[in-house]
Amino acid sequence: MRRTLMAAGAVLTSAALLAGCSAGGAPEGGDGPVTLQMWSWDPSMPEIAKVWNESHPDIQVEVTDPAGGNELVSRILTAHKSGDAADIVKVEYQALPALVSNGVAADITDYTKDSVDAFTPAAFDQVSFDGKVYGLPQDFAPLVFFYRNDIFEQYGLEVPTTWDEYAEVARALHTADPTKYLGTFSSADPGWFTGLTQQAGANWWSASGDTWKVAIDDSDSVKVADYWQGLISEGVIKGEPFWSPQWNKEMDDGTYAGWISGAWAPAQFGGIAPNTEGKWTMTALPAWTAGDDTTGIWGGSATAVTTDSKHPAEAAEFVKWFNTSDEALALQVEKINIFPAATDGQKLDALKTPPAYMPNQPDYYQTVAKISEGARTFDLWGPNATVTFGAYNDGFAAAIEGGTPFADVLASMQKTTVSDMEKLGFTVEQ
C-alpha cells in the first residue's frame, strides 16, 4: 500500500519560497547562535529545552505553548499561510498528515537517516509517507484501564478483563451505590474513541495508489458505539465529557471508580483528582475476546520541523536529540510521564520508578511496555482527521443529549469526512 497524502493539484510550499518568513533565525548579519522557536503543550518543556541549550550554545531553542491538540494544529496552519509557523512543532499522530498535505511539515528524510532504526516499525509508520520522513515519534500511548483500588475493594469488585465483564462490574457498582459509576463516554475526545475502535479492528482510512477508502461507520466501529450507548441507556455509565469541571470534581470525589485512558494519564491526575494520589491502579484494557491482548492508541505525538524554518538542519538536530537521546527521554519520563516511542528509551532506568502520582504501582512502566506489545493503530491517518474529529465532537454531544443512535453519528462522520476529502481533491472510493 502506498501511503500517499497528496491530493490532486496540491501544492507544497518549499522553504526556499518563503522569503521574509519569521520563524527562528540568527541575528541580522548571520552572527550569533541560531535561535529556533518550538510550539509544544508539554508541561516542563522549557526545562527540557534548557538542558539542550546549555550544551548547544550555537543552537538555542525557545519554547512557547500557544495551544494544545487540534487547536495547535489550527494555529500552525494559520501561521503557515504567512510563513510564521514555529521551526519545530509538537503534533499528535492523527494530525500530522494534515500538516504534510498542506505543505507545513518539512521532509526531514536526509537529516534523520540514522534514526529510522531507533523506533519500532509501528511507531515510525506514524511519521513516514511515500518513503519520506516528516517528523520523529515522541511517545507511544496505548489505551489502558485505571481503576480505584480502594473502591473496588470496598464493594468487592473484580477487575474486568473483557468488555462483558466491564459491563457487569459497571452494573454491580451502580447497584451497590447509585452515586458511583465505573466510567463515562466522552463526547469531547475523538482520539479516545478511535483507540477503542482500533482495538475492535477498525481501520478508518486506507489508500491504494492515489485512491482512498474511508470506513468510519464500519461494523467494528458500530459495535463499539452500540456497546457504550447501551451502558449509557442503562444508566450505569455516564455521558459526561472528560476534562469538564464536573468530571474533574467527580473524578476527585470518588463518583468514578474507573477511567479508560492513555498511559500518560498519571501526568494529569494531579490536576484532575488531587485527593486520590496512590488510589489508582493501571491494568490492560478489557478485551472483546477473552485472552486477546490487543489495545488501541490514545495520544502519542511526533515532533516535526516546518517548511517555514530557515534552519531545518539545526531544527532536525534538536528533534533527533529530543526523541532518541537517553538524556532527553529520561527528562520526558520524569517531567511529562511519557512512554517513549524510541525502543532504547523504553529501557531507561527512569522507567523503573513509577509516576509520582502512582507510588502504589512500582511496575507501572513495565506493565505499559507489556501492554504496548499488543497495541495497534490505524494503518494510515486520513489527511483531514481534524475534520473527522470535529464531526465526532458535534455529533456525539448531540446524540448523548438527545438520545439518538450513536451509529448515526458514525454515518454522519463518514459523510462529512468523504465530502471534505473530495473537496480537497482526493479520490475516494465509493
pLDDT digits 0-9 by tens, 67-99 = 887 788 889 999 999 999 999 999 999 999 989
Q: What is the pLDDT of residue 18?
A: 31
Q: Which grid cell is 18?
A: 518563503
Q: What is the pLDDT of residue 17?
A: 29
The number of residues making up the chain comes to 430
Determine how many CB atoms are found less than 10 A away from the CB of residue 374.
16
HSE-CB at 56 with a 13 A cutoff on CA atoms is: 19
* Residue percentage of the chain with pLDDT more than 90: 79
Span 213-227, average pLDDT: 98
Determine how many CB atoms are found less than 10 A away from the CB of residue 24.
23
3-class secondary structure, 297: strand
Span 381-410, average pLDDT: 95
Res 367 pLDDT > 50: yes
Segment among 6-20, 37-51, 61-75 with least mean pLDDT: 6-20
The residues that bridge with 35 in the sheet, in sequence order, are 25, 60
- Residues 307, 135 contacting (CB under 8 angstroms): no
HSE-CB at 27 with a 13 A cutoff on CA atoms is: 4
Q: What is the pLDDT of residue 22?
A: 42
Res 139 pLDDT > 50: yes
Span 104-110, average pLDDT: 97
pLDDT tier at 338 (50, 70, 90 boundaries)? confident
- Please give the Cα distance from 178 to 168 (Å, whole number): 15
Q: Which residues contact 4 (CB under 8 A, 6 or more apart)?
A: 129, 130, 207, 209, 210
pLDDT tier at 28 (50, 70, 90 boundaries)? very low
Q: Which residues of 137-176 are buried (b: 16+ CB within 10 A; e: fewer)?
A: bbbbbbbbbbbbbebbeeeebebbbebeebbbbbbbbbee
Domains and CATH numbers, the chain: 15-140+299-352 (3.40.190.10), 143-297+378-428 (3.40.190.10)
pLDDT (tens digit per residue) in 157-176: 999 999 999 999 999 999 99
pLDDT tier at 101 (50, 70, 90 boundaries)? confident
Instruction: Give the strand pairing for 59-64 and 34-39.
Output: parallel
Angle at 109 between CA 108 and CA 113, to 5 degrees: 125
pLDDT (tens digit per residue) in 314-326: 999 999 999 999 9
- Please give the Cα distance from 43 to 319 (Å, whole number): 17
- Residues 216, 394 contacting (CB under 8 angstroms): no
Instruction: Give the strand pairing for 427-428 and 59-64.
Output: unpaired
pLDDT tier at 1 (50, 70, 90 boundaries)? very low
Q: What is the pLDDT of residue 9?
A: 38
